[in-house]
């Protein structure tokens, strides 16, 4: 049976997967921490993962990587989480090493391909895949095809401006969607508002050291800590607004939410929907379905393995 390898290259972890032609997972290999300091150390780590997954049945190797990727040439222009990866022709490097066809794409686009073939979007051709974590990643599938744009940058939803006077984003602009709806953003908003309250159980839990407060705790304390509650209400409002902009533009059938923070959004999704319905054209809002990804941490690696099946 034909097999396909997919690799999810993250800032600290590498996840490798081998699937068969029925799109079933045959094998999984994970490295929890690798040396990302140089191109050589990264390619060495990738090579060892691929070697342990490779068999004579494997036809191709796919990579899903956060960053600016030329999917046609298989070149990583830049990756915000892995600064050593700059202008790297990863396709040619690994085709030379393994003698198999290599595919490379942005991690959100790989995640969307996985949803299309084996996830929550199997029955639709028009959907948006959006991940919430340290930032926002997204990919648009329209009529069964990835929307790439001129430079493979279509789907940079995290950098839609929600407030031109808002906080500074990692991209240099002000008030981007992800400055209101990422793990670091939620922590920042909570800490900024501490001064407005007399007594906060979450702050006391960390002995009044606000630097120790982390986003999962803000969710955990939302029913007992008024600042946590109000922070998450504010964030839910912004997420609903951000999603409304995308839905008004693209009219997707489904929105599939992934990522670590994305899964926590289930807890505040009633508030997200209130803001979404308030801001979205009624006829479009009524037809869109929201789903949380069921592929979990495997999505990007599965999608990377499926890249040879996606239509460019
Ligand atoms: Zn930005």
Please give the distance, rounded to the nearest whole angstrom, from the Cα atom of residue 70 to the centre of ligand 1.
20
Please give the distance, rounded to the nearest whole angstrom, from the Cα atom of residue 171 to the centre of ligand 1.
4
Mind listing the pLDDT tens digit for each residue in 63-83?
Answer: 999 888 999 999 999 988 899
* pLDDT above 90 for 241: yes
* pLDDT above 90 for 86: yes
Mean pLDDT of 278-305: 95
Please give the distance, rounded to the nearest whole angstrom, from the Cα atom of residue 177 to the centre of ligand 1.
7
* Confidence tier at 153 by pLDDT (50, 70, 90): confident
Please give the distance, rounded to the nearest whole angstrom, from the Cα atom of residue 242 to the centre of ligand 1.
13
**Which pLDDT belongs to residue 171?**
87
Please give the distance, rounded to the nearest whole angstrom, from the Cα atom of residue 163 to the centre of ligand 1.
11
Please give the distance, rounded to the nearest whole angstrom, from the Cα atom of residue 101 to the centre of ligand 1.
34
> Among all chains, which residue has been given the structure tokens 């803000």?
218
CB atoms within 10 A of CB 257: 23
* pLDDT above 80 for 94: yes
Please give the distance, rounded to the nearest whole angstrom, from the Cα atom of residue 178 to the centre of ligand 1.
7
Please give the distance, rounded to the nearest whole angstrom, from the Cα atom of residue 167 to the centre of ligand 1.
10
Please give the distance, rounded to the nearest whole angstrom, from the Cα atom of residue 174 to the centre of ligand 1.
7
Domains and CATH numbers, the chain: 3-115+298-309 (3.30.420.40), 123-294 (3.30.420.40)
* Percent of the chain whose pLDDT exceeds 90: 91
* Confidence tier at 286 by pLDDT (50, 70, 90): very high
> Among all chains, which residue has been given the structure tokens 């040439």?
73
Please give the distance, rounded to the nearest whole angstrom, from the Cα atom of residue 173 to the centre of ligand 1.
5
Sheet holding 145-146, edge to edge: 145-146, 136-142, 127-132, 254-258, 289-292
* pLDDT above 70 for 209: yes
Please give the distance, rounded to the nearest whole angstrom, from the Cα atom of residue 136 to the centre of ligand 1.
10
* Confidence tier at 170 by pLDDT (50, 70, 90): confident
Please give the distance, rounded to the nearest whole angstrom, from the Cα atom of residue 234 to the centre of ligand 1.
19
Please give the distance, rounded to the nearest whole angstrom, from the Cα atom of residue 153 to the centre of ligand 1.
13
**164 DSSP β-pair partners:** none
Mean pLDDT of the chain: 95
Please give the distance, rounded to the nearest whole angstrom, from the Cα atom of residue 204 to the centre of ligand 1.
33
Ion ligand 1 residues within 5 Å by Cβ: 159, 169, 171, 173, 176
- State the Cα–Cα distance between residues 114 and 302, nearest whole angstrom: 6
Instruction: State CA 37 to chain mean position distance.
Output: 23
Please give the distance, rounded to the nearest whole angstrom, from the Cα atom of residue 169 to the centre of ligand 1.
5
**Which pLDDT belongs to residue 269?**
98
- State the Cα–Cα distance between residues 209 and 248, nearest whole angstrom: 42
* pLDDT above 80 for 220: yes
**Which pLDDT belongs to residue 110?**
96
Please give the distance, rounded to the nearest whole angstrom, from the Cα atom of residue 21 to the centre of ligand 1.
39
Is the CB of residue 218 less than 8 Å from the CB of residue 139?
Answer: no
Radius of gyration of the chain (CA): 20
Mean pLDDT of 128-154: 92
Mind listing the pLDDT tens digit for each residue in 188-208?
Answer: 999 999 999 999 999 999 999
Please give the distance, rounded to the nearest whole angstrom, from the Cα atom of residue 49 to the centre of ligand 1.
33
**Which pLDDT belongs to residue 271?**
98
* Confidence tier at 312 by pLDDT (50, 70, 90): low
Please give the distance, rounded to the nearest whole angstrom, from the Cα atom of residue 160 to the centre of ligand 1.
7
């Amino acid at each position: 049976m034909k097999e396909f390898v997919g690799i999810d290259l993250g800032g600290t972890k590498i996840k490798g997967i081998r699937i068969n032609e029925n799109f079933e997972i045959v094998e999984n290999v994970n490295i929890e921490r690798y040396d990302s300091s140089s191109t050589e150390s990264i390619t060495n780590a990738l090579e060892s993962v691929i070697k342990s997954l490779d068999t004579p049945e494997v036809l191709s190797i796919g990579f899903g990587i956060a960053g600016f990727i030329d999917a046609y040439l298989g070149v990583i222009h830049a990756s915000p989480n892995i600064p050593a990866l700059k202008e790297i022709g990863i396709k040619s490097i690994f085709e030379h090493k393994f003698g198999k066809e290599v595919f490379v794409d942005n991690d959100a686009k790989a995640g969307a391909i996985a949803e299309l073939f084996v996830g929550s979007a199997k029955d639709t051709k028009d959907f948006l895949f959006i991940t919430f974590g340290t930032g926002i990643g997204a990919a648009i599938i329209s009529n069964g095809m990835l929307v790439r744009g001129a430079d493979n940058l279509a789907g940079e939803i995290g950098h839609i401006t929600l407030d031109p006077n808002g906080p500074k984003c990692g991209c240099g602009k002000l008030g981007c969607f992800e400055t209101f709806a990422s793990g670091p953003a939620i922590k920042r908003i909570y800490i900024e508002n501490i001064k407005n309250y007399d007594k906060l159980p979450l702050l006391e839990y960390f002995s009044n050291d606000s630097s120790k407060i982390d986003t999962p705790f803000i969710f955990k304390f939302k029913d007992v800590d008024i600042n946590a509650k109000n922070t998450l209400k504010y964030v839910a409002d912004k997420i609903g607004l951000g999603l409304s902009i995308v839905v008004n533009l693209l009219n997707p059938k489904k929105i599939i939410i992934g990522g670590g923070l994305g899964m926590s959004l289930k807890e505040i999704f009633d508030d997200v929907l209130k803001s979404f319905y308030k801001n979205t054209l009624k006829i479009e809002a009524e037809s869109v379905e929201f789903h949380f990804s069921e592929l979990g941490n495997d999505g990007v690696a599965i999608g990377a393995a499926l890249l040879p099946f996606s239509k460019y």
